[in-house]
Amino acid sequence: MTTIIDCMAVGKSFKGKSAVKDLSFQMKKGEVVALLGPNGAGKSTTIQMLLGLMEPSVGRVTISGQNPKLKAVRERIGVMLQEVRLLDTVTVKEILQLVRGYYPRPLSMEQLTRLTGLDESSLNTRTEKLSGGQKQRVSFALALAGNPDMLFLDEPTTGMDAIARKTFWKSIRELAERGTTIIFTTHYLDEVEVAATRVLMMNHGELIEDATPAMMKKKLGMQRISFLTDAVYRPETYQGLAATDIRIDGKKVTILTGNADHSLKILYALELEISEVTVNRGTLEEAYSQLTDSPEVS
Amino acid sequence: MKILWNECWLEALRVFRNRYFIFWSLIMPIVFYVFYTKVMVQDVGDPKLWEKHLLMSMAAFSVMGSSIMTLGLRLVQERNQGWTTYLKTTPVSGAVYFIAKMAGQTSVHIFTISVIFTSGGLINGISMPAIEWITAGMWILIGAIPFLALGGLIGTMKKSDTASGVSNLIYLALAVTGGMWMPMEFMPKLLQQVAQWIPSYQYAAGAWSIIRGEAPGLVGILVLIAYTVVFMILSIQRRRMQEAI
């Protein structure tokens, strides 16, 4: 498989503060990479450097062996950036037609509306009148307009509702099956499992993990057991539950654990006065806080 | 070429959808024109000549305004809203984007000049040789270049509120000091002396000469070129400074 994206010992500092340190990785054709990390980890800076929007302080980025700023590269990529507001006083259809015109082999309007789930009425709506989720759909359509071989998506699902999100990941999988190379950032662990073939994790500007989603899930897939209790138990009571974190908030107790089955078994064996036991998937933020709290993880 | 055309067309469409533009660049000049030629008629000698003179002033006022305000504000907004950043990830070059903006603006100007000339002509029954209408229109169109450059300079400002305030102020100041609202002879002596260094005066004066059957003065043309160069150098410098950070 050919290397598409090559990030070679890249670093970036702003006013002496380093945002990305010695970052090296390669992406092969057809890979779908989830770039994860807590806020301020350097994900967006990395994406911007991959795209040539930001010049690395050290190191080099190539896309298909070329400078990312070249027109030949730009014709083959699609991009969703954070904090881009759509051009206003134009309808969705007008903006899509305009951007399709930038590329030599654009996707047809039919394909664009199908992949993004934009309906006829939103096509004729002015961009400033769209809801946040609809705007994200349009941004996605803009990213796909040129029928790209590579997609760079920085928090693509922010602001999308559940339906929009579902359509979005369905389309991403379809594109991945067609061989599109994709890199995205997200705050949702389930999105990583649904779409990614590989996970890169950053913290404090450094790459700290390069793994498969399954490995990552094991590492990060925290589960949250919560229950109510009228009795006031001391935190020590719950020792032995294999918990990574215990929070007591009045009657409500929350336990974070890597192995809920095991923890539950022990919890019931303690025969405590508890009710309303629920088990949830932990969030990525909770996993990050584990990571940042324990420096030995890297 | 197709990209340029699409971009230019959409840009023109966006300008027409802007209510501020319609108000300031189409309605206001025509209202002023009616007011000064029908309601508050001043004693300025030959009334027919004054009607033609003021029509040129109003067309110049309109085009100068949309050059300074529309273009500059668009540039600031699109940069602040990240659209300019997005465009950098597409195959479109910055030059095409900028040229298309200018071309879109120019086609809007052709439209506004036609509307103002036609309505003025109808309101006061102005008759001029076709060649004078055309050359006056061309002068107002091309003479707007320094104001487009000024719009580009305003476009380098960081905040759109500042840009909007500053451009409004400059616009009105230029309109008054350029004698677009009132003939220069009614202005203070001091202003009359410096008028020929004011770009808006030279801009309007070119059109005033044409309707009197004269060619625009060479000094006026040179002054407008000099302003264009200065505004362009300043905005290139500001852009460089911003990119360096």
Q: Is the Cβ pair B83, A90 closer than 8 Å? A: no
Higher pLDDT, A189 or B196: B196
CATH of A3-219, one of 3.40.50.300, 3.40.50.1110, 2.40.50.460, 2.60.40.2130: 3.40.50.300
Phi, psi of B207 (to 5 degrees): -70, -35
Query: Of the candidates B6, B86, B91, which has its C-beta nearest A81's C-beta?
Result: B86
* Torsion angle in degrees (nearest 10) through CA of B90, B94, B97, B101: 150
Query: How many degrees, rounded to 5, is the angle at CA A168 between CA A162 and CA A174?
Result: 140
| Chain B residues closer than 8 Å to A75 by CB | 91
What is residue A201's DSSP assignment? Answer: E
Q: How crowded is residue A251: how many other Cβ atoms within 10 Å of its Cβ? A: 14
Q: Is the Cβ pair A89, B7 closer than 8 Å? A: no
Phi-psi map region of A277: left, alpha, beta (phi>0 left; psi -120 to 50 alpha): beta
Query: Of the candidates A71, A85, A94, which has its C-beta nearest B81's C-beta?
Result: A85
Measure in Å the smallest separation between the Cα of A54 and chain B Cα atoms. 10
User: Could you tell me the fold of the domain covering A223-281?
Assistant: Alpha-Beta Plaits (3.30.70)
Note whether B3 contacts A: Cβ–Cβ < 8 A: yes
CB B32 within 8 A of CB B181: yes
What is the maximal distance between C-alpha atoms in chain B? 60
Q: What is the pLDDT of residue B244?
A: 64
* Alpha carbon distances (Å) from A206 to A43, A188, A292: 10, 20, 13
Q: Is the Cβ pair B10, A98 closer than 8 Å? A: yes
Measure in Å the smallest separation between the Cα of A81 and chain B Cα atoms. 7
Give the pLDDT confidence of B147-161 residue by residue, as tens digits: 999 998 998 888 888
Residue of chain A nearest B81, judged by CA positions: A85
Q: d(Cα B55, Cα A161) in Å, to the nearest integer? A: 55
Residue of chain A nearest B16, judged by CA positions: A89
Note whether B89 contacts A: Cβ–Cβ < 8 A: yes
DSSP secondary structure of chain B: -HHHHHHHHHHHHHHHT-HHHIIIIIIHHHHHHHIIIIIS----S-HHHHHHHHHHHHHHHHHHHHIIIIIHHHHHHHHHTTHHHHHHTSS--HHHHHHHHHHHHHHHHHHHHHHHHHHHHHHHT----HHHHHHHHHHHHHTTHHHHHHHHHHTT-S-HHHHHHHHHHHHHHHHHHTTSSS-GGGS-HHHHHHGGGSHHHHHHHHHHHHHTT-PPPHHHHHHHHHHHHHHHHHHHHHHHHHHH-
Q: What is the pLDDT of residue A298?
A: 34
Q: Which of B81, B86, B92, B243 to mutate to test the interface with A (most CBs of A within 10 A)?
A: B86
Phi, psi of B218 (to 5 degrees): -65, -40
Q: Is the Cβ pair A94, B10 closer than 8 Å? A: yes
DSSP secondary structure of A37-102: -STTSSHHHHHHHHTTSS--SEEEEEETTB-TTSHHHHTTEEEE-TT-PPPSSSBHHHHHHHHHTT
The residues with which A79 forms a beta bridge, in sequence order, are A152
CB B71 within 8 A of CB B148: yes
Give the pLDDT confidence of B15-73 residue by residue, as tens digits: 888 888 888 889 999 999 999 888 877 776 788 898 999 999 999 999 999 999 888 78
Q: Is the Cβ pair B13, A94 closer than 8 Å? A: yes
Residue B108 pLDDT greater than 50, yes or no? yes
Note whether B162 contacts A: Cβ–Cβ < 8 A: no
Query: How many degrees, rounded to 5, is the angle at CA A156 between CA A154 and CA A162?
Result: 155
Measure in Å the smallest separation between the Cα of B92 and chain A Cα atoms. 6
Query: Of the candidates B78, B83, B92, which has its C-beta nearest A102's C-beta?
Result: B92
User: Hunting for tokens 């405590």 — which residue is that?
Assistant: A272
User: Strands A150-154 and A181-185, how do they pair?
Assistant: parallel
Q: Of the candidates B193, B201, B8, B1, which has an alpha carbon nearest to the alpha carbon of residue B104? A: B8
Residues in chain A, how many? 298
Measure in Å the smallest separation between the Cα of A101 and chain B Cα atoms. 6
Q: Is the Cβ pair A146, B90 closer than 8 Å? A: yes
Q: How crowded is residue B214: how many other Cβ atoms within 10 Å of its Cβ? A: 10
Share of chain B above pLDDT 90, in %: 49
Query: Of the candidates B13, B17, B89, which has its C-beta nearest A51's C-beta?
Result: B89
CB A199 within 8 A of CB A209: yes
CB-hemisphere CA count at 13 Å for A15? 1
What string of pLDDT tens digits covers the 298 residues of chain A?
A: 689 999 999 999 988 889 999 999 999 999 999 999 888 899 999 999 999 999 999 999 999 999 999 999 999 999 999 888 899 899 999 999 999 999 999 999 999 999 999 999 999 999 999 988 899 999 999 999 999 999 999 999 988 888 889 999 999 999 999 999 999 998 887 788 888 999 999 989 999 889 888 777 777 667 888 888 877 777 777 777 767 777 788 788 888 787 788 888 888 888 788 888 888 876 677 667 666 654 433 3
Q: Which helix (H) or strand (E) holds A119?
A: none
| Chain A residues closer than 8 Å to B17 by CB | 89
Q: Where are the domains of chain B?
A: 2-244
Q: Which of A70, A88, A90 to mutate to test the interface with B (most CBs of B within 10 A)?
A: A88
Please list the alpha-helical segments (H only) found in A90-232: 92-100, 109-116, 120-123, 132-144, 162-177, 189-195, 213-220
Q: Which helix (H) or strand (E) holds A196?
A: none
Query: Of the candidates A53, A75, A87, which has its C-beta nearest B83's C-beta?
Result: A87
Q: Where are the domains of chain A?
A: 3-219, 223-281
Note whether B19 contacts A: Cβ–Cβ < 8 A: no
Residue of chain A nearest B96, judged by CA positions: A102
> What tokens were used for A281?
């998937």
Measure in Å the smallest separation between the Cα of A44 and chain B Cα atoms. 14
Residue B111 pLDDT greater than 90, yes or no? yes
